[in-house]
């Protein structure tokens, strides 16, 4: 069975866009692949310089994956910083990474274009990501379009290394998740922490309802026909329940006589149905810090066991043993 690897940065509380755009499709891979899911806390350190917050987001993210159905007996769930082989490999790989290639990385170029101060960590982010992948011989890396370049950089690094030392590293394939569209936020722009327009995943019903009622709508009167496709409330509903199940609501909105308030109510109820039980499990995991830590520690042990033989071969090849 091929290995698929998925990481997510614990840079804030997970929201519905993370779930629909990434977590749900990634959990679906478990039927086809041996899955490695990791919490990329060292990647998050490029932007988050608050130890307590990073620790808290990491725990919340682990609890989120588990609550949403990650089976930690089959798949591996681990925290990046618990696997020291990853930063070790990152250094080795950096010696096979052309600086010109990192100069062309989108995230770095964007940061420079916006005149943001760029740390070396932001600059070498793609090398750490290559180590995340190559340490485990992952063959498949499911990514959104924005991450494709990072996998190409990883492939290039692996090929340069292999050119010198033989085929020690598995050159991964990016699987672009075309079907995952951008999930809109409360204001209709992409749901994102940086726009402050998110629906956090496990809010209590009262706060969730309030946020859903805040979703931007136009002022079309109840009786008038409406265009569901142009309304974030409908798009969120459709992403959540699927096209077929959403057809009824689309029809009603187009026909007129159904107001946006009814659409919001439908979305709220769907969120409660789809995520209600997961919220209870999330709260249970968050209340039992030692159980959560035990899952992460077991995941890290298994990840290290998986990385060990390859790392040993790599160290020997470069002459470090
Ligand atoms: P972030 O922490 O914002 O980088 O999000 C982590 C991952 O969640 C991204 O790489 C995307 O795959 C997914 N994601 C985040 N926001 C959205 C969104 N609004 N629509 C679709 N996918 C999203």
DSSP string covering 47-81, please? T---HHHHHHHHHHHHHHHHHTT--TTTSEEEEGG
| Residue 190, in any domain of the structure | no
Domain shared by 172 and 118, yes or no = yes
| Residue 189, in any domain of the structure | no
Q: Is the CB of 22 under 6 A from ligand 1?
A: yes
Domain shared by 275 and 305, yes or no = no
Domain shared by 21 and 154, yes or no = yes
Q: Which range marks the domain in which residue 62 is found?
A: 3-182+289-318
Domain shared by 231 and 136, yes or no = no
Domain shared by 116 and 248, yes or no = no
Phi-psi region of 226 (alpha: psi -120 to 50; beta: other; left: phi over 0): beta
Domain shared by 91 and 20, yes or no = yes
Give the three-class secondary structure for 38. Answer: strand
Which residues fall within 8 angstroms of residue 89, CB to CB, at 6 or more apart? 131, 134, 135, 311, 314
Q: C-alpha angle with apex 256: 251 to 260, nearest 5 degrees?
A: 85
Q: Whose CA is nearest to atom 15 of ligand 1?
A: 18
**What is the reported pLDDT for 176?**
79
Distance CA 5, CA 177 (A): 14
Decide if 195 contacts 185 (C-beta within 8 A). yes
Q: Is the CB of 39 under 6 A from ligand 1?
A: no
Report the nearest atom of ligand 1 relative to the CA of 177. Answer: 12
State how far Cα 306 lies from the chain centre: 22
Residue 76: in which H helix or E strand, if any?
A: strand 76-79
**pLDDT tens string 174-224:** 987 766 678 999 999 999 988 999 999 999 999 999 999 999 999 999 999
Domain shared by 231 and 261, yes or no = yes
**What is the reported pLDDT for 164?**
98
Which CATH number fits the domain that encloses residue 296? 3.40.50.620
| Residue 301, in any domain of the structure | yes
| Residue 193, in any domain of the structure | no
Domain shared by 151 and 170, yes or no = yes
Total number of domains in the chain: 2
Domain shared by 219 and 110, yes or no = no
**What is the reported pLDDT for 39?**
98
Give the three-class secondary structure for 319. Answer: coil
Residue to mutate (ligand 1; options 16, 22, 129, 185; most atoms within 8 A of CB): 22
| Residue 56, in any domain of the structure | yes
Q: Which stretches of the chain score pLDDT less than 70?
A: 178-180
**What's the gap in Å between 163 CA and the centre of ligand 1?**
35
**What is the reported pLDDT for 143?**
84
Which CATH number fits the domain that encloses residue 210? 1.10.240.10
Domain shared by 136 and 157, yes or no = yes
**What is the reported pLDDT for 146?**
78
**Side-chain-side CA neighbours of residue 102 (13 Å):** 21
Domain shared by 166 and 137, yes or no = yes
Report the nearest atom of ligand 1 relative to the CA of 184. Answer: 19
Q: Is the CB of 232 under 6 A from ligand 1?
A: no
Task: Compute φ and ψ for 11, nearest 5 degrees.
Answer: -100, 5
| Residue 187, in any domain of the structure | no
Which residues fall within 8 angstroms of residue 69, CB to CB, at 6 or more apart? 27, 278
Which residues fall within 8 angstroms of residue 304, CB to CB, at 6 or more apart? 83, 85
**What is the reported pLDDT for 179?**
62
């Amino acid at each position: 069975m091929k290995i698929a690897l998925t990481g997510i940065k614990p840079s804030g509380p997970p929201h519905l866009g993370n779930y629909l755009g990434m977590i749900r499709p990634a959990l679906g891979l478990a039927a086809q692949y041996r899955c490695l899911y990791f919490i990329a806390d060292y990647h998050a350190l490029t932007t988050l310089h608050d130890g307590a917050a990073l620790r808290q987001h990491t725990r919340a993210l682990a609890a989120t994956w588990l609550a949403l159905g990650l089976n930690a007996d089959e798949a591996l769930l681990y925290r990046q910083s618990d696997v020291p082989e990853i930063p070790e490999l990152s250094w080795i790989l950096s010696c096979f990474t052309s600086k010109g290639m990192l100069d062309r990385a989108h995230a770095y170029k964007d940061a420079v274009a916006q005149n943001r101060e760029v740390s070396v960590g932001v600059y070498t982010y793609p090398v750490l990501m290559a180590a995340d992948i190559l340490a485990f011989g992952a063959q498949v890396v499911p990514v959104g379009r924005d991450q494709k370049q990072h996998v190409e950089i990883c492939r290039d690094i692996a090929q340069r290394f292999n050119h010198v030392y033989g085929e020690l590293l598995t050159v991964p394939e990016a699987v672009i998740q075309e079907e995952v569209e951008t999930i809109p936020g409360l204001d209709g722009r992409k749901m994102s922490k940086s726009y402050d327009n998110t629906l956090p995943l496990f809010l209590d019903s009262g706060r969730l309802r309030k946020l859903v009622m805040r979703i931007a709508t136009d002022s079309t009167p109840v009786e008038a026909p409406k265009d569901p496709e142009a309304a974030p409330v409908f798009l969120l509903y459709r992403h959540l329940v699927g096209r077929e199940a959403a057809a009824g609501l689309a029809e009603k909105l187009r026909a007129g006589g159904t107001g946006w308030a009814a659409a919001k109510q439908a979305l709220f109820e769907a969120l409660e149905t789809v995520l209600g039980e997961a919220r209870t499990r999330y709260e249970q995991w968050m209340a039992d810090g030692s159980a959560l830590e035990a899952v992460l520690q077991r995941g890290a042990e298994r990840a290290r066991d998986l990385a060990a033989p390859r790392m040993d071969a790599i160290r020997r090849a470069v002459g470090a043993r």
